[in-house]
Amino acid sequence: MNLANSTGIVTGAGSGLGRATAQMLASQGARLVLIDLNPERLEAVRADLPGEHVAAKADVCNPVEVGAAIEQGVGAFGELRFVVNCAGIPSAAKTVSRGVAHDLALWNRIIGINLTGSFNVLRLAVERMVDNRPDDLGQRGVIVNTSSIAAFDGLKGQAAYSASKAAIVGMTLPIARDLAEHGIRCMAVAPGVFETELTANVPQKGMEAMEKSFLFPKRTGYPDEFARMVHAILTNPYVNGTCYRLDGGARFAP
């Protein structure tokens, strides 16, 4: 996919991996529909990007709000060619802690935002993508979802988070198969530990424990390294239906 003048959605664009992805894609000439729940951060990101973009405050789990954001983007730029789902939240709660069961409302919130929110955005975006004119390679669109290495190496207290991210991996191939006839690819990226606002809040002991699992480079990932992976997926037409780990070789112990 040629990103110059192509329009796409980036969720979670107000911070972290979403913000870095928006910066990378905008630098390549893409026109973006930036989605986040924080309007102040969202507008700050939009104002800092080269080119013209739409900032849309929306809850990724809300079909009406996401639909309105898509209509705003299509109205401004005429089409929709890609989706990069970065919106997500962490959790830390054991299955049973001090004799008390994991809070079910927390479980549902994590699954709702990380998994259902991602699917909600992509399903509504695809509804518009199928009407795109195919490019020279027959492509009409690309979807990139964000999983996590917690999908494979979940830590204690990550049952909900790991389940949500493992499901992102699990739905990648079926969605790619569903959309193959339309010339739409679906991929996922499973990042390891990256320098974001989320990891900045991890206690020092927790970071030290994770750092023992780092292979090389022996450091956290940089958000622009995630953005470069997204760029590679969008622009390489022969990647489809799979999930790439992006973790410097890290494998978490329990």
Active site residues: 161
Pairwise CA distance, residues 200 & 198, whole Å: 5
The region that residue 16 occupies, defined by phi over 0 for left and psi between -120 and 50 for alpha, beta otherwise, is: left
**Which residues on adjacent β-strands are paired with residue 85?**
145
Residue 197 one-letter amino acid: E
Residue 133 one-letter amino acid: R
H or E element at residue 148: none
Q: How many other CB atoms are there within 10 angstroms of residue 208's CB atom? A: 10
Instruction: Enter the tokens of residue 127.
Output: 């509804």
Instruction: Enter the tokens of residue 221.
Output: 């990932």
148: Cα within 13 Å, side-chain hemisphere: 25
